Structure 1
Amino acid sequence: ISIASMALGSFAAIGQTNIKRLLAYSGIGHIGFALVGLAAGTERGVYAVLIYMTIYVVMTLGTFAAVLMMRRQGRYVETIDDLAGLSRRQPMLALAFAIFMFSLAGIPPLAGFFGKLYVFMAAIEAGLTPLAVIGVLASVVGAYYYLRIVKLIYFDAPAEAFDRPDRVELQAVLGVCAVLVLGFILIPGPLLATAQAAAAALMP
């Protein structure tokens, strides 16, 4: 199931042009990565999954908050091409969105990298090295469509101007999630300790 989810999510997302559909398929892939940790069948594996899913939820919340803030003439953007030139019109929004894309792709030193590292290490420690290798390969494929979005945001010319973001609650969610994704490497202790305690309780 883990391999199927990673493969479906990674390869199906490549051909998507609709933003929400792309994120949905990539979500399937991320569930596959989490299942790598569960496949280990160890406390370490459960620990890794709890960390991974917490980080994934934060990245996804931030990503959807960013998408909901992107509008042109009152309409929400629908396709990846609609993101072209965002950095020229809304540089801070573009920066936050790029952070989430890099983190979802598993680029170090962002939180998403460590989430994948923990599940792959749990699999290797459980003797599931081939599964971890497949996970790494799927992650490389997945990085393609995330980095393609960053390229559109920063290097393509905008077709038309973006509306100015006006929803304070979305800006708050975006800001908090971006800080958490960036700051995980500096203060990972609370999440790691909570995940360790939960894993110990679930795998006595």
Structure 2
Amino acid sequence: EIILSVYAMLALVGAVYTAKDELATTLCWLTSILFAIVAFWISSDSASAQTAFNGMFIDDGFARFAKVVILLSAAAVLVISVDYMRRRDLMKFEYPILIVLAVVGMMMMVSSGNLMSLYMGLELQSLSLYVVASFRRDSVKSTEAGMKYFVLGALSSGLLLYGASLVYGYTGSTDFATIIQAAGHGGSIGLMIGLVLVIAGLAFKVSAVPFHMWTPDVYEGSPTPVTAFFATAPKVAAMALFARVMHDAFGNAKADWQQVIVLISLLSMFLGAVAAIGQTNIKRLMAYSSIAHMGYALMGLAAGTAYGVEAMLMYMTFYAIMNIGTFAFIMTMEKGGQPVTDIQSLNLLAKTKPGKALAVMVLMVSLAGIPGTIGFFGKLYVLQAAYGAGLLWLAIAGV
């Protein structure tokens, strides 16, 4: 986190005092390489779990795995976005810097052991993403996407902060280790209300129903590389944070939050799948697809077991891989030299570009969870976790 923060500040100063946008492409490549190096460094660390800043920052196997997925996802998105951003005259030096700052926020989120560090990481990520969403300043849709994301994001942050204040008021601490002890002694009504508000704030970040309203518009309005980023690294970070809060802070109150997560999971799977059927824009289709996929990931969290968390992490890893491939294809969709996102523009793709058609078919069947694809194995893991936790009906609904 420190390395990436220093890099972002140095890159910002360097870009301001030099040729600015001429450095943007170089910064993208340098940032991708740095992400890959940091990911390799983190993955090679086999030390036992450690804490810093009086338990506010936790470095354990869970956080390391999530950070590696986040870093590699962000690196891949930067690599596939360079050509697109350059051809559309969107390559600005702020783009890779904002991505770095967002990634630092995500890494703080998955390592948080305190409500204060959780909120700091979440806001660092969110503030960076608000700007990136409205990056195309000459586009009404992009500006609208950024504004909607900002307003609804501020609302969700307010819910989360109010919930955190209630939790602090009824437990006397913002530290997860203290909260879990208080929650285990039969939490009060106020503490449970705080828990529900925290869940609502986190559900917004993962685009779970009924807090999904922003997702289709933001996905459609943002530049395609930005949408690809939204669909990968932030989702992994938010889901990992969700698991961290539920297990590390409210693990002793599983009976209170499990049914809420189950309901959100069920609604997300159903609405995401049904709403995707009628879409004509492929980016909106991917938005509703992400809502459904978050429902499946929440199924692993709803299990309330260690295996459920592992299954959820594996599912999110496979989800990120599939989305990066799909958005890499979407970035190549053109008609008359202009980018298109209309599904009808894919007509005759199998005849004109059979290789590309085969690749996108594999990605789509993988997203659908057809046997033999990584999407199938991701779903299998979370379904097994739900079945093992006695949630047979939820597993059947997921099938």
TM-score, normalised by the number of residues in structure 1: 0.65
Query: Counterpart amino acid of 1:129?
Result: L
Is contact 2:370-2:376 (8 Å) kept? yes
- Tell me how large the CA RMSD over aligned residues is: 0.7
Task: Report whether the alignment pairs 1:62 with 2:325.
Answer: yes
Question: Following the alignment from structure 1 to structure 2, what is the Cα–Cα distance between the partners of residues 87 and 26?
Answer: 23
Question: Following the alignment from structure 2 to structure 1, what is the Cα–Cα distance between the partners of residues 339 and 351?
Answer: 18
Query: Counterpart amino acid of 2:305?
Result: T
Is contact 2:301-2:312 (8 Å) kept? yes
Q: Deviations over 1:48-100 (max 9, x none)?
A: 00110000000001000001112111122221111111111111111111110
Task: Report whether the alignment pairs 1:92 with 2:355.
Answer: yes
| Matching residue of 1:171 | none
Task: Report whether the alignment pairs 1:74 with 2:337.
Answer: yes
Q: Deviations over 1:5-29 (max 9, x none)?
A: 1111011111111110011011000
| Matching residue of 1:198 | none
Superposed structure 1 runs of 4+ greater than 2 Å apart: none
Task: Report whether the alignment pairs 1:32 with 2:333.
Answer: no
Is contact 1:19-1:80 (8 Å) kept? yes
Question: Following the alignment from structure 1 to structure 2, what is the Cα–Cα distance between the partners of residues 66 and 37?
Answer: 29
Q: Which runs of 5+ in 2 are unaligned?
A: 1-263
Question: Following the alignment from structure 2 to structure 1, what is the Cα–Cα distance between the partners of residues 356 and 321?
Answer: 16
Secondary structure of residue in 1 paired with 2:331: helix
Question: Following the alignment from structure 1 to structure 2, what is the Cα–Cα distance between the partners of residues 86 and 101?
Answer: 15
| Matching residue of 1:48 | 311
Question: Following the alignment from structure 1 to structure 2, what is the Cα–Cα distance between the partners of residues 78 and 112?
Answer: 23
| Matching residue of 1:103 | 366
Question: Following the alignment from structure 1 to structure 2, what is the Cα–Cα distance between the partners of residues 127 and 7?
Answer: 20
Secondary structure of residue in 2 paired with 1:116: helix
Query: Counterpart amino acid of 2:296?
Result: F
The higher-RCO structure (CA 8 Å, 6+ apart) is 1
Q: Deviations over 1:130-187 (max 9, x none)?
A: 0011111xxxxxxxxxxxxxxxxxxxxxxxxxxxxxxxxxxxxxxxxxxxxxxxxxxx
Question: Following the alignment from structure 2 to structure 1, what is the Cα–Cα distance between the partners of residues 283 and 294?
Answer: 17
Q: Which runs of 5+ in 1 are unaligned?
A: 137-204
Alignment coverage as a number of residue pairs = 136
Task: Report whether the alignment pairs 1:116 with 2:374.
Answer: no
Is contact 1:77-1:83 (8 Å) kept? no
Query: Counterpart amino acid of 2:348?
Result: G
TM-score, normalised by the number of residues in structure 2: 0.34
Q: Deviations over 1:87-124 (max 9, x none)?
A: 11111111111110010011110100000000001000
Secondary structure of residue in 1 paired with 2:377: helix
Secondary structure of residue in 2 paired with 1:69: coil
Query: Counterpart amino acid of 2:389?
Result: A
Question: Following the alignment from structure 1 to structure 2, what is the Cα–Cα distance between the partners of residues 94 and 77?
Answer: 16
| Matching residue of 1:20 | 283
Report percent identity of matched pairs: 57
Question: Following the alignment from structure 1 to structure 2, what is the Cα–Cα distance between the partners of residues 129 and 30?
Answer: 19
Query: Counterpart amino acid of 1:47?
Result: E
Is contact 2:301-2:309 (8 Å) kept? yes
